[in-house]
Structure 1
Amino acid sequence: MRRWAFLFLWLGLMALGQTPEEKLRAALDRLRGPAHQAVYTLLVERPGSMRTYRLQVYTDGERAHIRVLEPRSEAGQAFLSLGQDLYLYDPRLGRTLRLPPTGRSERFLGSDLTYQDLMGRDLEALFSVAEEKGVLVLTPRPGAATPYGRVEVYLKGGLVERVLYYDQRGQGVRELLLAGYQRFQEAYLPREMELRDLLRSGYRTRVEIGEVRVGPVPERCFNPLYLERGC
């Protein structure tokens, strides 16, 4: 317990003197974790039902290769996020597609996550950052392609604990909660994430991260040609 108290105190002291932009960048870097391979369990809850997916994830913190392992009916689908480029491999079509910008707001595997959530750097690229009473407040940059009029990022000890998304009218539409950060040397990775739809009761998606292997990811994992064959 004392060790964790010291850790959060140290992270808090590190945040002193940082600009809001620097705080956001550092917090998101910790949220993305180190270069690693892991199995992510995606639990998509709807009123009266739940769907479970197991995903093999390869990421270097900037790019991500995601493959569906289960259920069998969805296995083999793969997704590759490279900055602002997102590629999808559909085994039923037998080919890799590049997702157009207009399709990035669609839901990932029917969950509450969108393809935009997989892009990696949208909060930094699309929003200006200010700080109000310890909360990072993000507002869209001119011409930014985002449905959100405001995003609030709540930090605890320099780690993202909660994110609130508001629409253009100022109504809260989504809430992201994070818990159980794991420490890998100087990097961090949450064990659990939960995304709630604030407009529809009973709609939420939970992500559980396990079987983590920290270390360099082969460069071929980030080549679209390897979406079909696997990396």
Structure 2
Amino acid sequence: MKKILLLLFFHLSIIASSQEAKDIIRKADEKAKGKTSIATITIQTIRPSWTREMTVKAWTKGNDLSFILVLAPAKEKGVVFLKRKKEVWNWIPSIERNIKMPPSMMSQSWMGTDFTNDDLVKEASILEDYNHSFLQDVIIDARNCYKIQLLPKPKSAVVWGKVIMDIDKKDFMMLHVEYYDEDGVLINTMHCSDIKLLGDRLLPGKMEMVPANKKGNKTVLIYNSLIFDTPLDDSFFNTQNITKAK
């Protein structure tokens, strides 16, 4: 009986720890998104011999709705990525085609950057598609952080085999993320910096995504503006609106 009680206590402790880790991920996710968000973002793709800059505007509502519009450069202006729950569309104005993106495309590069399609449109949910567990406490840029491991649930269709996040204990900001493939090999590392008030909350204003096996390559995402909790109707996030957003 004593062994059974100890095993039960151990099992309940694991469940409680997992729930606490998930709650921390939820707080960080909700802080970064709000009920809605409207952002203008500069994205710099940096390579050993060249650099390319892009400006986008992004609207989000909860975890199910997002709309990304490319504003510059002129060659890509008007390109749109639309997400509704688990469905993602890509409007390409140069050929006037609206393409529904299959799950297999989520792991591919987003417009030649080091971010994947999944990173930008968030088809996978870091809350619902993964199991969460604490690893240890760490210090990132002089901030005390939780290091939390995310492992995909058995039936989840996700890009990554493992994700490790470092989240600030005080302000619940995601400061450092490592992305691994199914074999446990590190593929990408994202580091967040330039912490400042964006909208009405303290958040990193800069994110750098660095691939592990491509020396000299990285993509830098910089928030120019970020507004939270502006009312957005669900009807804004539809395929009929995909050619009209500005």
TM-score scaled by length of structure 1: 0.84
Q: What is residue 217 of structure 1 aligned with on the other side?
A: 232
Q: Secondary structure at the match of 2:232?
A: coil
CA distance in 1, matches of 2:227, 2:98: 27
In structure 2, the CA distance between the partners of 1:226 and 1:120, relative to structure 1 (3 Å rule), is: same
Residues 1:89 and 2:91 aligned together: yes
Q: Secondary structure at the match of 2:118?
A: helix
In structure 2, the CA distance between the partners of 1:225 and 1:61, relative to structure 1 (3 Å rule), is: same
| RMSD of aligned alpha carbons | 2.3
**Unaligned residue ranges in structure 2 (runs of 5+):** 1-16, 138-146
CA contact (8 A) 1:175 1:196 kept: yes
In structure 2, the CA distance between the partners of 1:130 and 1:113, relative to structure 1 (3 Å rule), is: same
- 1:48 maps to a residue whose letter is S
- The percent of aligned pairs where both chains have the same amino acid is 22
Q: Secondary structure at the match of 2:127?
A: helix
Q: What is residue 152 of structure 1 aligned with on the other side?
A: 164
- Report the Cα offset of residue 33 of structure 1: 4.4
CA contact (8 A) 1:46 1:204 kept: yes
Match of 2:82 among 80, 83, 88: 80
- 1:228 maps to a residue whose letter is T
Q: Secondary structure at the match of 1:225?
A: helix
CA distance in 2, matches of 1:212, 1:147: 27
- Report the Cα offset of residue 23 of structure 1: 1.0
Larger RCO (CA within 8 A; separation ≥ 6): 1
CA contact (8 A) 1:31 1:188 kept: no
Number of matched residues? 215
CA distance in 1, matches of 2:86, 2:238: 15
- 1:226 maps to a residue whose letter is N
Highest CA radius of gyration, 1 or 2? 2
CA distance in 2, matches of 1:145, 1:191: 30
Q: Secondary structure at the match of 2:104?
A: helix
**Unaligned residue ranges in structure 1 (runs of 5+):** 1-15
CA contact (8 A) 1:82 1:119 kept: no
In structure 2, the CA distance between the partners of 1:40 and 1:165, relative to structure 1 (3 Å rule), is: same
TM-score scaled by length of structure 2: 0.79
In structure 2, the CA distance between the partners of 1:218 and 1:28, relative to structure 1 (3 Å rule), is: same
**Which has the larger displacement, 139-148 or 61-70?**
139-148
CA distance in 2, matches of 1:99, 1:49: 29
In structure 2, the CA distance between the partners of 1:147 and 1:57, relative to structure 1 (3 Å rule), is: closer
Measured against aligned partners, the alpha-carbon deviations of 1:93-142 in whole angstroms (never above 9, x if no partner) come to 21322111111111111111111112255322321111111311111211
Q: What is residue 53 of structure 2 aligned with on the other side?
A: 52
Match of 1:116 among 91, 101, 118: 118
Measured against aligned partners, the alpha-carbon deviations of 1:63-101 in whole angstroms (never above 9, x if no partner) come to 221111111011111111222111111112213221111
CA distance in 2, matches of 1:55, 1:37: 11
Q: What is residue 9 of structure 1 aligned with on the other side?
A: none
